[in-house]
Amino acid sequence: MLFYAKEWSFVNYRPGKFQSLLKFRLFAKPNTLQTLPISTEGEEFLMLLDVVVTFPLFTDPVIFNSSKYATFPQYKLEARQRDYITSLQRTLSHSYVSNVHLLYDQPQIIHYIEAHVKTDFGKLRFHKVKDNKVANIAFEFVFSQLRGRLVMLTQADVYPGQGLELIKKDIMVSKKLVYALTRHGRLEKNCDMRGDPTSRSCSDQAYRGSHDAYIFVPEGELPQTAWEALNHTSHYKGIDNVIIYTFKDLLKYKVLNPCKVIYVYHFHCSGVRPRGVKRINGLFNFTWSHGRSIPTDKLF
Protein backbone atom coordinates (compact mmCIF):
# COMPACT_ATOMS: atom_id res chain seq x y z
CA MET A 1 0.00 0.00 0.00
CA LEU A 2 1.27 3.46 -0.86
CA PHE A 3 1.64 5.94 1.95
CA TYR A 4 -0.21 9.11 1.00
CA ALA A 5 0.91 12.08 3.08
CA LYS A 6 -1.88 14.52 3.81
CA GLU A 7 0.27 17.26 5.27
CA TRP A 8 3.59 18.66 4.10
CA SER A 9 5.90 21.44 5.23
CA PHE A 10 7.81 23.59 2.76
CA VAL A 11 10.47 26.04 3.86
CA ASN A 12 10.40 28.95 1.46
CA TYR A 13 13.84 30.52 1.48
CA ARG A 14 14.68 33.64 -0.47
CA PRO A 15 18.20 35.02 -0.82
CA GLY A 16 19.38 36.66 2.39
CA LYS A 17 16.78 35.34 4.83
CA PHE A 18 14.51 32.43 5.71
CA GLN A 19 10.80 32.98 5.33
CA SER A 20 8.46 31.61 7.93
CA LEU A 21 7.80 27.91 7.86
CA LEU A 22 4.81 27.31 5.65
CA LYS A 23 2.62 24.43 6.74
CA PHE A 24 -0.25 23.52 4.51
CA ARG A 25 -2.60 20.61 4.06
CA LEU A 26 -2.22 18.94 0.71
CA PHE A 27 -4.85 20.18 -1.74
CA ALA A 28 -5.67 23.14 0.52
CA LYS A 29 -5.95 26.61 -0.98
CA PRO A 30 -2.41 27.71 -1.96
CA ASN A 31 -0.75 30.90 -0.83
CA THR A 32 -1.60 33.87 -3.02
CA LEU A 33 1.12 34.61 -5.55
CA GLN A 34 1.41 37.57 -7.88
CA THR A 35 -0.92 37.00 -10.82
CA LEU A 36 0.80 36.72 -14.17
CA PRO A 37 -0.81 38.18 -17.30
CA ILE A 38 -3.09 35.80 -19.17
CA SER A 39 -2.52 37.50 -22.51
CA THR A 40 1.01 38.48 -23.47
CA GLU A 41 0.20 40.47 -26.61
CA GLY A 42 1.88 43.85 -26.79
CA GLU A 43 4.24 43.37 -23.86
CA GLU A 44 7.69 44.82 -24.53
CA PHE A 45 9.42 42.75 -21.86
CA LEU A 46 8.04 39.49 -20.57
CA MET A 47 8.98 37.38 -17.56
CA LEU A 48 6.55 34.53 -17.71
CA LEU A 49 7.78 31.19 -16.48
CA ASP A 50 8.01 29.77 -13.00
CA VAL A 51 10.62 27.05 -13.42
CA VAL A 52 10.73 24.13 -10.95
CA VAL A 53 13.90 22.07 -10.68
CA THR A 54 15.82 19.90 -8.24
CA PHE A 55 19.25 18.31 -8.05
CA PRO A 56 21.57 16.71 -5.46
CA LEU A 57 24.69 18.11 -3.84
CA PHE A 58 27.42 15.61 -4.66
CA THR A 59 29.79 16.81 -1.92
CA ASP A 60 27.37 15.26 0.58
CA PRO A 61 28.94 11.94 1.71
CA VAL A 62 25.52 10.27 1.62
CA ILE A 63 25.30 10.94 -2.11
CA PHE A 64 28.98 10.35 -2.81
CA ASN A 65 28.95 6.94 -1.13
CA SER A 66 25.65 5.74 -2.62
CA SER A 67 25.80 2.70 -4.88
CA LYS A 68 24.83 4.71 -7.94
CA TYR A 69 27.76 7.14 -7.66
CA ALA A 70 30.38 5.35 -5.53
CA THR A 71 32.35 4.23 -8.59
CA PHE A 72 33.02 7.82 -9.70
CA PRO A 73 36.00 9.82 -8.41
CA GLN A 74 35.20 13.08 -6.65
CA TYR A 75 36.42 15.23 -9.55
CA LYS A 76 33.88 13.55 -11.85
CA LEU A 77 31.03 14.30 -9.45
CA GLU A 78 32.24 17.90 -9.18
CA ALA A 79 32.08 18.08 -12.98
CA ARG A 80 28.51 16.79 -12.85
CA GLN A 81 27.70 19.44 -10.27
CA ARG A 82 28.99 22.06 -12.72
CA ASP A 83 26.56 20.70 -15.33
CA TYR A 84 23.72 21.51 -12.94
CA ILE A 85 25.03 24.92 -11.91
CA THR A 86 25.62 25.98 -15.51
CA SER A 87 22.10 24.93 -16.47
CA LEU A 88 20.67 26.69 -13.43
CA GLN A 89 22.56 29.90 -14.22
CA ARG A 90 21.37 29.92 -17.82
CA THR A 91 17.80 29.29 -16.71
CA LEU A 92 17.99 32.17 -14.24
CA SER A 93 19.43 34.47 -16.91
CA HIS A 94 16.66 33.79 -19.42
CA SER A 95 14.50 36.89 -19.88
CA TYR A 96 11.27 34.87 -19.98
CA VAL A 97 11.90 33.29 -16.57
CA SER A 98 10.46 35.09 -13.55
CA ASN A 99 11.29 32.62 -10.76
CA VAL A 100 13.25 29.41 -10.36
CA HIS A 101 11.95 27.20 -7.55
CA LEU A 102 14.57 24.74 -6.33
CA LEU A 103 13.18 21.86 -4.28
CA TYR A 104 15.85 20.51 -1.96
CA ASP A 105 16.35 18.05 0.89
CA GLN A 106 20.03 18.83 1.61
CA PRO A 107 20.22 22.16 3.50
CA GLN A 108 23.88 22.72 2.57
CA ILE A 109 22.94 23.04 -1.10
CA ILE A 110 21.71 26.59 -0.46
CA HIS A 111 25.18 27.81 0.47
CA TYR A 112 26.74 25.93 -2.43
CA ILE A 113 24.42 27.64 -4.90
CA GLU A 114 24.94 31.01 -3.23
CA ALA A 115 28.68 30.60 -3.84
CA HIS A 116 28.38 29.54 -7.48
CA VAL A 117 25.46 31.43 -9.04
CA LYS A 118 26.85 34.74 -10.28
CA THR A 119 23.85 36.63 -11.69
CA ASP A 120 20.05 36.79 -11.29
CA PHE A 121 20.22 35.17 -7.86
CA GLY A 122 17.15 37.17 -6.86
CA LYS A 123 14.99 34.93 -9.03
CA LEU A 124 15.81 31.88 -6.91
CA ARG A 125 13.32 30.45 -4.43
CA PHE A 126 14.38 27.53 -2.22
CA HIS A 127 11.76 25.10 -0.89
CA LYS A 128 12.68 22.33 1.56
CA VAL A 129 10.85 19.09 0.85
CA LYS A 130 10.86 15.62 2.35
CA ASP A 131 12.47 13.85 -0.63
CA ASN A 132 13.33 15.74 -3.78
CA LYS A 133 14.15 12.57 -5.72
CA VAL A 134 10.53 11.44 -6.06
CA ALA A 135 8.63 12.81 -9.05
CA ASN A 136 5.32 13.35 -7.29
CA ILE A 137 6.91 15.81 -4.84
CA ALA A 138 7.42 18.34 -7.64
CA PHE A 139 3.86 17.83 -8.85
CA GLU A 140 2.51 18.29 -5.32
CA PHE A 141 4.39 21.55 -5.08
CA VAL A 142 3.23 22.83 -8.46
CA PHE A 143 -0.45 21.98 -7.99
CA SER A 144 -0.60 23.43 -4.47
CA GLN A 145 1.74 26.43 -4.68
CA LEU A 146 1.82 27.50 -8.34
CA ARG A 147 -1.77 26.91 -9.32
CA GLY A 148 -2.78 29.17 -12.20
CA ARG A 149 0.81 30.09 -13.04
CA LEU A 150 2.69 29.23 -16.22
CA VAL A 151 5.10 26.55 -15.02
CA MET A 152 8.02 24.63 -16.47
CA LEU A 153 9.06 21.43 -14.70
CA THR A 154 12.50 20.55 -16.00
CA GLN A 155 15.49 18.29 -15.59
CA ALA A 156 18.47 19.79 -13.78
CA ASP A 157 20.82 19.54 -16.77
CA VAL A 158 18.48 21.32 -19.17
CA TYR A 159 18.04 25.05 -19.77
CA PRO A 160 15.58 27.00 -21.96
CA GLY A 161 16.56 28.55 -25.26
CA GLN A 162 14.64 30.28 -28.01
CA GLY A 163 10.92 29.99 -28.61
CA LEU A 164 9.46 30.76 -25.18
CA GLU A 165 8.00 33.94 -26.65
CA LEU A 166 5.63 31.74 -28.68
CA ILE A 167 3.86 30.46 -25.57
CA LYS A 168 0.46 32.06 -24.91
CA LYS A 169 -0.91 31.41 -21.46
CA ASP A 170 -4.53 32.01 -22.45
CA ILE A 171 -4.29 29.32 -25.13
CA MET A 172 -2.54 26.93 -22.74
CA VAL A 173 -5.43 27.35 -20.29
CA SER A 174 -8.34 27.29 -22.75
CA LYS A 175 -7.07 24.17 -24.52
CA LYS A 176 -5.59 22.59 -21.37
CA LEU A 177 -2.23 22.05 -23.04
CA VAL A 178 1.07 20.74 -21.79
CA TYR A 179 4.22 21.04 -23.86
CA ALA A 180 6.40 17.97 -23.19
CA LEU A 181 9.62 19.09 -24.83
CA THR A 182 12.40 16.95 -26.24
CA ARG A 183 15.81 18.49 -25.72
CA HIS A 184 18.42 19.70 -28.19
CA GLY A 185 22.21 19.83 -28.05
CA ARG A 186 24.44 22.74 -28.98
CA LEU A 187 28.12 23.58 -29.08
CA GLU A 188 29.16 24.41 -25.52
CA LYS A 189 32.43 25.88 -24.27
CA ASN A 190 33.71 22.56 -22.90
CA CYS A 191 31.90 20.02 -25.07
CA ASP A 192 29.81 19.61 -28.20
CA MET A 193 26.37 18.39 -27.17
CA ARG A 194 25.29 18.26 -30.81
CA GLY A 195 26.99 14.89 -31.11
CA ASP A 196 25.24 13.35 -28.11
CA PRO A 197 22.59 10.86 -29.36
CA THR A 198 20.37 11.67 -26.36
CA SER A 199 20.39 15.37 -27.28
CA ARG A 200 19.33 15.25 -30.91
CA SER A 201 16.05 13.34 -30.99
CA CYS A 202 13.74 16.25 -31.85
CA SER A 203 13.02 14.97 -35.33
CA ASP A 204 10.61 12.53 -36.89
CA GLN A 205 13.43 10.08 -37.63
CA ALA A 206 15.45 10.30 -34.41
CA TYR A 207 12.65 10.64 -31.83
CA ARG A 208 13.05 8.02 -29.10
CA GLY A 209 10.38 8.95 -26.56
CA SER A 210 12.60 11.22 -24.47
CA HIS A 211 11.21 14.39 -22.85
CA ASP A 212 12.94 16.79 -20.45
CA ALA A 213 10.74 19.82 -19.77
CA TYR A 214 6.99 20.18 -19.23
CA ILE A 215 5.31 23.56 -19.66
CA PHE A 216 1.71 23.88 -18.47
CA VAL A 217 -0.69 25.77 -16.21
CA PRO A 218 -1.65 23.65 -13.17
CA GLU A 219 -5.36 23.90 -12.39
CA GLY A 220 -7.34 22.39 -9.54
CA GLU A 221 -6.04 19.70 -7.23
CA LEU A 222 -3.62 16.88 -7.95
CA PRO A 223 -5.70 13.67 -7.85
CA GLN A 224 -4.48 10.81 -5.72
CA THR A 225 -4.38 8.59 -8.82
CA ALA A 226 -1.83 10.97 -10.37
CA TRP A 227 0.13 11.14 -7.10
CA GLU A 228 0.38 7.36 -7.03
CA ALA A 229 1.32 7.10 -10.71
CA LEU A 230 4.20 9.55 -10.16
CA ASN A 231 5.46 7.94 -6.95
CA HIS A 232 8.80 6.96 -8.50
CA THR A 233 12.34 8.27 -8.49
CA SER A 234 12.59 11.04 -11.05
CA HIS A 235 15.79 9.81 -12.71
CA TYR A 236 14.46 6.33 -13.50
CA LYS A 237 14.50 5.45 -17.17
CA GLY A 238 11.09 5.99 -18.71
CA ILE A 239 9.84 8.45 -16.08
CA ASP A 240 9.15 10.91 -18.90
CA ASN A 241 6.75 8.40 -20.47
CA VAL A 242 5.02 7.87 -17.13
CA ILE A 243 4.67 11.65 -16.77
CA ILE A 244 3.09 11.96 -20.22
CA TYR A 245 0.75 9.07 -19.43
CA THR A 246 -0.26 10.88 -16.24
CA PHE A 247 -0.90 14.16 -18.06
CA LYS A 248 -2.93 12.47 -20.80
CA ASP A 249 -4.88 9.76 -19.04
CA LEU A 250 -5.21 10.99 -15.45
CA LEU A 251 -5.02 14.79 -15.59
CA LYS A 252 -6.73 15.03 -19.01
CA TYR A 253 -4.28 17.45 -20.61
CA LYS A 254 -3.62 17.58 -24.33
CA VAL A 255 0.08 16.79 -24.73
CA LEU A 256 2.15 18.31 -27.53
CA ASN A 257 5.89 18.29 -28.16
CA PRO A 258 6.66 21.52 -30.09
CA CYS A 259 10.40 21.00 -29.71
CA LYS A 260 10.86 22.09 -33.33
CA VAL A 261 10.00 25.68 -32.35
CA ILE A 262 10.48 25.81 -28.54
CA TYR A 263 13.99 24.80 -27.54
CA VAL A 264 15.45 23.40 -24.35
CA TYR A 265 19.14 22.51 -24.36
CA HIS A 266 20.90 19.59 -22.71
CA PHE A 267 24.10 20.39 -20.78
CA HIS A 268 25.92 17.21 -19.81
CA CYS A 269 29.61 17.81 -20.44
CA SER A 270 30.69 15.63 -17.50
CA GLY A 271 29.35 12.40 -18.98
CA VAL A 272 28.52 11.17 -15.45
CA ARG A 273 25.39 9.04 -15.18
CA PRO A 274 24.19 7.05 -12.16
CA ARG A 275 24.77 3.31 -12.27
CA GLY A 276 22.07 0.68 -12.13
CA VAL A 277 19.10 2.91 -12.97
CA LYS A 278 16.02 0.80 -13.57
CA ARG A 279 13.34 1.31 -16.22
CA ILE A 280 9.75 1.94 -15.13
CA ASN A 281 7.76 2.99 -18.20
CA GLY A 282 6.10 -0.41 -18.45
CA LEU A 283 4.60 -0.37 -14.95
CA PHE A 284 1.10 0.56 -16.04
CA ASN A 285 0.93 -1.80 -19.02
CA PHE A 286 -0.11 1.08 -21.27
CA THR A 287 0.78 1.11 -24.96
CA TRP A 288 3.79 3.00 -26.29
CA SER A 289 1.50 5.68 -27.74
CA HIS A 290 0.26 6.66 -24.26
CA GLY A 291 3.72 7.64 -23.08
CA ARG A 292 5.12 9.59 -25.98
CA SER A 293 4.51 12.76 -27.96
CA ILE A 294 6.17 13.06 -31.35
CA PRO A 295 8.07 16.25 -32.28
CA THR A 296 6.04 18.97 -33.98
CA ASP A 297 6.03 22.67 -34.80
CA LYS A 298 2.36 23.00 -33.82
CA LEU A 299 1.49 24.90 -30.64
CA PHE A 300 -2.15 23.78 -30.28
Query: Which has the higher per-residue pLDDT, 73 or 298?
Result: 298
Interhelix angle for 74-93 vs 109-116, to 10°?
A: 70
For residue 77, give the 3-state DSSP assignment: helix
* Average confidence (pLDDT) over 255-276: 92
Q: Is the pLDDT of residue 290 over 80?
A: no
* Average confidence (pLDDT) over 191-219: 91
> Whole-angstrom Cα distance, residue 235 to residue 280?
10
- The pLDDT value recorded for residue 14 is 54
Query: Which has the higher per-residue pLDDT, 84 or 290?
Result: 84
Q: What CATH number belongs to 11-17+40-291? A: 3.90.550
CB atoms within 10 A of CB 195: 10
- Any idea which of 136-145, 219-228, 270-279 has the lowest mean pLDDT? 270-279
> Whole-angstrom Cα distance, residue 35 to residue 138?
21
What are 299's strand-pairing partners?
none
Specify the pairing of strand 177-181 against strand 213-216. antiparallel
For residue 79, give the 3-state DSSP assignment: helix
pTM score of the predicted model: 0.83
> Whole-angstrom Cα distance, residue 234 to residue 211?
12
